[in-house]
Amino acid sequence: MTQPHRLAPQAGGTLVGFVCGMLLALALALVVALFVTRSAVPLEERGMQAPAATEAAEAARNRDWNPNANLSTRPAAPAAPAAPAPAATPTAPEPPAPAAPDPLGQLIEQRQAAPAAAAAAAATAPPVVAAAALHYFVQAGAFASAAEAQAQRARLAMLGFDASVSERRQDASVIHRVRLGPFAQAGEAEEVARRIQAQGIDTALVRVSR
């Protein structure tokens, strides 16, 4: 009976040691967990920031990259010679502006020239015959032979024109004229002349003073 009574204190001490060991293990585990948790944040930040810095460096390198850098050492092609500038065309000097007309001087010149011009016109102008003092004939031919003149008169009669034959002495010879008229107005004689010419006969307008 005395031996079982001695084993009770040892079992209690074992249980207390086990509990203390468990508590120590939990404390160590908590310390390790806190350490790992605190040290994980910088690692994550470094892991996130590294790609950003790499992308920035890559963008800067791409921006400054020159694909023709290796070709810059080649000699540049000679530039084409510039075309010579065209010579300036000399401009002709402008003519001097005409002087302003002098109305008074022109009037004096006109008055001085009017008498001389009137005298010259009067000297060269043919004598004027009043229209009422003239009558008109249409001459359809002048012949040296009376037979030819009568034949022309007969031809005109067949065409409906009444003509007459008159004689005129010229240089020791006689001219036989075939005429139509007289007409009081020049317009009447011109109309008859146009109608005869339309039949192929040459005519002439003759003015005779009354």
Asked which of 24, 45, 63 is the last residue of a domain, the reply is 63
Task: Please check whether residue 145 lies inside any domain of the structure.
Answer: yes
Task: Please check whether residue 119 lies inside any domain of the structure.
Answer: no
Task: Please check whether residue 81 lies inside any domain of the structure.
Answer: no
CATH classification at residue 200:
3.30.70.1070
Distances (CA, A) of 72 to 65, 69, 77, 99, 137: 13, 5, 12, 72, 109
**What is 85-116 written as a DSSP string?**
PPPPPPPPPPPPPPPPP-HHHHHHHHHHHHHH
CA 102/CA 106 separation, integer angstroms: 6
Task: Please check whether residue 72 lies inside any domain of the structure.
Answer: no
Mean pLDDT of the chain: 75
Task: Please check whether residue 95 lies inside any domain of the structure.
Answer: no
CA 206/CA 137 separation, integer angstroms: 5
The answer to pTM > 0.85 is: no
Task: Please indicate whether residue 132 or residue 34 has the higher confidence score (pLDDT).
Answer: 34
Range of the domain at 38: 13-63
Percentage of the chain lying above the pLDDT 70 cut: 58
Task: Please check whether residue 28 lies inside any domain of the structure.
Answer: yes
CA 206/CA 210 separation, integer angstroms: 13
* Number of structural domains in the chain: 2
Q: How confident is the model at residue 190 (pLDDT cuts 50, 70, 90)?
A: very high
DSSP letter at 171? T
Task: Please check whether residue 174 lies inside any domain of the structure.
Answer: yes
Task: Please check whether residue 101 lies inside any domain of the structure.
Answer: no
Task: Please indicate whether residue 112 or residue 11 has the higher confidence score (pLDDT).
Answer: 112
pLDDT tens profile 45-89:
444 444 556 677 777 776 766 666 555 555 555 555 666 666 656
